[in-house]
Amino acid sequence: MKVFKFGGTSVSSVASLLNVKNIVSSTKLNGDPLIIIVPALKGIADDLNPLIDLIPVKDKFISEFFSRFKKHHQEFIAKLFNEIEQIELKSILGPLEKELHRELMRLSKQNVISSSDRDNILAFGKIFSAKIMSFFLKKNGHFIEFLDPRRLIITDNNYGNANLIRSETVKRMRNFFRGNSKSYVVPGNLGSTTEGKTTTLGRMGSDYTSTIFGTILKAKSVTKWTDADGVLTADPNLINSADSVHEITLNELQSISFLGPKVIVHPDAITELSDNNVPLIIKNTFNLKFQGTMVSNKSIQHKSIFSLNNSCVIVDISRDHLLPKDFFKRIRDNGHLFFRIKELQGVDLEKLYFVVSNKCLKFIKKEIEDTQKEFRTIDQPQKFEVTYSSVSLISITKQEMDKEVEISKAISLLEEKGITPIGHRLFNTTFCLLLSSSDSANAIGYLYDGLVHSERIPVLQNI
């Protein structure tokens, strides 16, 4: 079996879909099934998410949501298919449109939209995308059916970020594919509870869907198709000489995804792959000559990868602060950047210090306000109020390195230039430097000149 996961840019234009067709055409299956995981069309979730909460307020929001949903897909379909094909596809999508409208009318009679309702509505965008993709491939000579993953992927009822019930999922998935060599297009990021209610798997949930299929069905590898040449040693927008990493470990990828401003692969997906020893290949939909970055439990690559995250703050919490028991667990479960840091200038021994992503602040503020305890940022003490100080996080990731030696080199290099890091932290395959945002641009240049050029390896990455 082969499992391909395509990102939003890979399925949102005529040119990208033609590339997908060429990829499928050139894939040698030898009688094995091909599973293609696709997200909703690019822009669907961002465009419609804000409207969902307004549905119960006035009927006009139902009409606006429905008309924008239809228009987005109709415009895309019109670019792909002739008139006869459009009529044929309409007969497939028409019942789904009616079902969506019925759901919207039902929700209009409620006072609020629950997280369960939100998952159910967002599922329609993913299902539409997968049905369009299946239809497109059939019209281009590939008989690949649509498969609703809610039949197979069973989760708990943590709507919006559901947890896999693996035992039941394994049973259903293996029963379904026993003696079944058909190929399928599957909408990503969807599952269902044992009661049959729709759930979503959280940010980057389509990655997770692909690894669930790949690991349970024992695929030789899972391929993620993106719009870049795999994992890069540098952001090419910043460093012209940036090149691709041909091999990297799953541990390294997990660090980069966690510490960088952009999640490359769903954290649970990396865990699934690592636990089952299934390699991940990251390829470029728009550059088929690129062989890809191979991500596995073993790697022989010797390049360092630098990531830059400018969306961080440092917060401190009193040691006697009575936080909810599952406070830290729920932050981790939602994939937020959040870690404790001890190596910090000017620490107060009565405080615990944390590096936190900007996206995490709203959640933390609510938790702190609910417990009515002291919470403040590192530089502006405020009781019961969240303020923050912007910092930049530079992370250097490499499987084999002496982190103590390397971080000393980096700190010395910056201090020679008059920049003193706020703090630092060592992880398994990574060390991090925290800097004032005002210093970050200069610090990047100094680190590049002092470390990268000396090794003749460009390593700055903003991912």
Q: Is the pLDDT of residue 381 over 50?
A: no
Q: Is the pLDDT of residue 452 over 70?
A: no
Instruction: Quote the tokens at residue 381.
Output: 């003490």
For 173-182, 314-323, 329-338, 357-366, which range has the lowest pLDDT when averaged over its residues?
A: 314-323
Q: Which of 144, 148, 42, 132 is nearest to 89 (CA)?
A: 132
Average pLDDT, the chain: 85
Q: Is the pLDDT of residue 166 over 50?
A: yes
Work out the pLDDT band at 383, boundaries 50, 70, 90: very low
Q: Is the pLDDT of residue 295 over 50?
A: yes
Give the phi and the psi of residue 373 in degrees, each rounded to 5.
Answer: -115, 170
d(CA 253, CA 250): 5
* Total H helices, total E strands in the chain: 14, 19
Q: Are 17 and 3 in contact (CB under 8 A)?
A: no
What is the domain partition of the chain in residue ranges? 2-227, 305-461
CATH number of 305-461: 3.30.2130.10
DSSP E strand stretches across 303-370: 305-318, 338-340, 343-344, 351-357
Q: Is the pLDDT of residue 414 over 80?
A: yes
2-227 placed in CATH 3.40.1160.10 = yes
Any bridge partners for residue 155, and if so which?
Answer: 164
Q: Is the pLDDT of residue 174 over 50?
A: yes
pLDDT of residue 204: 83
Angle in degrees, 0-180, between the axes of helices 205-216 and 166-177, rounded to the nearest 10:
60
Share of the chain above pLDDT 70, in %: 89
What is the distance in angstroms between the CA of the first residue and the CA of the last residue of the chain? Answer: 30
Residue 63, CB-side half-sphere exposure with 13 Å CA sphere:
3
In the numeric block, the tokens 């969306």 are attached to 311
Give the phi and the psi of residue 293 in degrees, each rounded to 5.
Answer: -95, 125
At 2-20, the pLDDT tens digits run 999 998 888 888 889 999 9
At 238-284, the pLDDT tens digits run 767 778 989 999 999 999 888 887 778 877 888 889 999 999 999 99
Q: Are 360 and 367 in contact (CB under 8 A)?
A: no
Q: Which of 293, 122, 305 is nearest to 200 (CA)?
A: 122
Q: Do domains 2-227 and 305-461 have the same CATH topology?
A: no
pLDDT of residue 301: 64
d(CA 165, CA 161): 13
Section 302-320 average pLDDT:
82
Most confident range (mean pLDDT) of 66-70, 103-107, 416-420 is 416-420
Q: Which of 340, 330, 230 is nearest to 290 (CA)?
A: 230
Q: Are 122 and 178 in contact (CB under 8 A)?
A: no
Work out the pLDDT band at 450, boundaries 50, 70, 90: confident
